[in-house]
A and B are shown apart, each in its own frame.
Chain A
């Protein structure tokens, strides 16, 4: 649906996006990167606000720049908090719905649904000027979904939302994803994004560092073996059999906690299945098992810092 082929975008002497090639299909894709990584530039290329200096951007097989055909099927939630402050939230969403091609006969119903979906029904008729940051974020999302687009592009939609709001936003995006829509969400709040999707695009200084499933990407980072922390009954007795496994390259006990063991492995999938068999055989009780760096944060850190 969304495709970038060698797309670069320069702002005078500064490069915003550098030779990026990727494809984004149905489901939720997270666009990750630090501030200034080029996330917003990439989003502006996709939403047709900017043209690529070199390379190509296509959405539904067409160039998106000033293309009403593409924009009719695209919902965009910008990062900035700027609005027509004198409008009420409802009036703003209505205007955006009409501009997005929603028929006059349907507009009231669609607007009410979108506003309800983001939990703004009780404040929809007051002026945007009096909205808090979270309310602004919600109304921005409402205007992006009001015409039921096939592609939803959200630039930092979690900023300013409280935990309840983030959860609601996550649920909303999951629902869209289940309906076969394409959702591209940029963020630097990695743990929140992680709960929504495993598919990422990782940008750093304008370049695309990684794309695809987070677990696959993680498994390809050989330089950084997976750490796995286990809390189990008689961990010290169990230790020698763990270190004997060919995929385990180190093992550490905790002096203060006899039940704790941390190991490093180069093949986590193989380790998990072998470890399960070992536990079943020995009937040892396992309290917790987790990998502190099998997450987005760690992948991000490893890829960015090399």
Chain B
């Protein structure tokens, strides 16, 4: 009597190929596990509180400005608009990056270290489920940390100015916020998961990611100099924003329809060209997902 595949048994690893009862949402169990893990960390809540600070300042600023304009109407002409302030708070997204680092650095690296991929992929979970689950475990907290304070500040402004008047003045602001808040979440999630998939230690993931982000920041500043463009031109502004976090801010400003007045260009609002920024982010997201997908294999890697 011989075995079905011939006399020599196939001892290679096989993915689970039994019935998969809960179609469609198998990734959620992985995502849920990651999100719960993040929420159990005290430091996560400290970072969430800090990420909300710019929006709390925005609300305080709005209260102060409405007090000033009620006393001196002429002063309102030079005051920043709500969307301008909202864009300013969105652009100060340092804390969001740190929330992403806390949640995302260990996402796959920790599984690599413990050789847990074998365990995951021997369950009724496909490679795609695992990838989506891991991406969502970073995306959801980062999206929530960006979206909720933006909605909170905008709702405050709407009630402050009168909901009807506010919506007629900014008809697409709420949908814009929903889209804008997703940009840092998807970029950080895909890149962090991509780097995490190729490492075994979370700290190495964190250092690599921060290195990539800040390398681009410095590169964009130096490239402005290298190209020798007029600093107030759209080309120079686009190059200035041509980095990972610069592109997140730049695209966000374009979608929100306003940007803070400080910085290059002085008091003039010079929007960056959204096409190269969107392309940069699209490439970054694609690279992150590709890196991740290529590495997710249920094989114990023995080195040396």
Per the CB under 8 Å rule, do A and B touch in the complex?
Answer: yes
Question: Is A101 an interface residue, CB under 8 A from the partner?
Answer: no
By beta carbon, the residue of chain A nearest B303 is: A129
Question: Is A229 an interface residue, CB under 8 A from the partner?
Answer: no
Question: Is A36 an interface residue, CB under 8 A from the partner?
Answer: no
Question: Is A127 an interface residue, CB under 8 A from the partner?
Answer: yes
Question: Is A85 an interface residue, CB under 8 A from the partner?
Answer: yes
Residues of A within 8 A of B6 (CB): none
**How far, in whole Å, are A160 and B125 apart by their CA atoms in the complex?**
30
Please tell me the number of chain B residues within 8 Å of chain A, measured between CB atoms: 3
Contact pattern, B 277-304, Cβ under 8 Å of A = 1, otherwise 0: 0000000000000000000000000111
Residues of A within 8 A of B302 (CB): 129-130
Contact pattern, A 52-91, Cβ under 8 Å of B = 1, otherwise 0: 0000000000000000000000000000000001000000
By beta carbon, the residue of chain A nearest B302 is: A130
Shortest CB distance B37–A (Å): 19
Residues of A within 8 A of B304 (CB): 85, 126-131
By beta carbon, the residue of chain B nearest A129 is: B304
Please tell me the number of chain A residues within 8 Å of chain B, measured between CB atoms: 7
Shortest CB distance B202–A (Å): 16
**How far, in whole Å, are A40 and B7 apart by their CA atoms in the complex?**
47
**How far, in whole Å, are A128 and B304 apart by their CA atoms in the complex?**
8
Q: Which residues of B in the span 246-304 have a Cβ within 8 Å of any Cβ on A?
A: 302-304
Residues of B within 8 A of A131 (CB): 304
Shortest CB distance A86–B (Å): 8
**How far, in whole Å, are A132 and B303 apart by their CA atoms in the complex?**
11
**How far, in whole Å, are A131 and B303 apart by their CA atoms in the complex?**
10
**How far, in whole Å, are A128 and B302 apart by their CA atoms in the complex?**
11
Shortest CB distance B97–A (Å): 31
Q: Which residues of A in the span 197-229 have a Cβ within 8 Å of any Cβ on B?
A: none
By beta carbon, the residue of chain B nearest A88 is: B304
Residues of A within 8 A of B303 (CB): 85, 129-130
Residues of B within 8 A of A128 (CB): 304
**How far, in whole Å, are A131 and B302 apart by their CA atoms in the complex?**
9
Shortest CB distance B144–A (Å): 29
Shortest CB distance B89–A (Å): 38
**How far, in whole Å, are A42 and B302 apart by their CA atoms in the complex?**
33
Residues of B within 8 A of A130 (CB): 302-304
Shortest CB distance A54–B (Å): 27
**How far, in whole Å, are A130 and B302 apart by their CA atoms in the complex?**
7
Shortest CB distance B173–A (Å): 47
Q: Which residues of A in the span 95-135 have a Cβ within 8 Å of any Cβ on B?
A: 126-131
By beta carbon, the residue of chain B nearest A126 is: B304
**How far, in whole Å, are A85 and B303 apart by their CA atoms in the complex?**
9
**How far, in whole Å, are A130 and B304 apart by their CA atoms in the complex?**
5
Shortest CB distance A124–B (Å): 14
By beta carbon, the residue of chain B nearest A127 is: B304
**How far, in whole Å, are A83 and B303 apart by their CA atoms in the complex?**
13
Q: Which residues of A in the span 31-62 have a Cβ within 8 Å of any Cβ on B?
A: none
**Selected A-B contacts with CB under 8 Å, 12 pairs:** A85-B303, A85-B304, A126-B304, A127-B304, A128-B304, A129-B302, A129-B303, A129-B304, A130-B302, A130-B303, A130-B304, A131-B304
- New A-B contacts (10) at CB < 8 Å, excluding given A128-B304, A131-B304: A85-B303, A85-B304, A126-B304, A127-B304, A129-B302, A129-B303, A129-B304, A130-B302, A130-B303, A130-B304
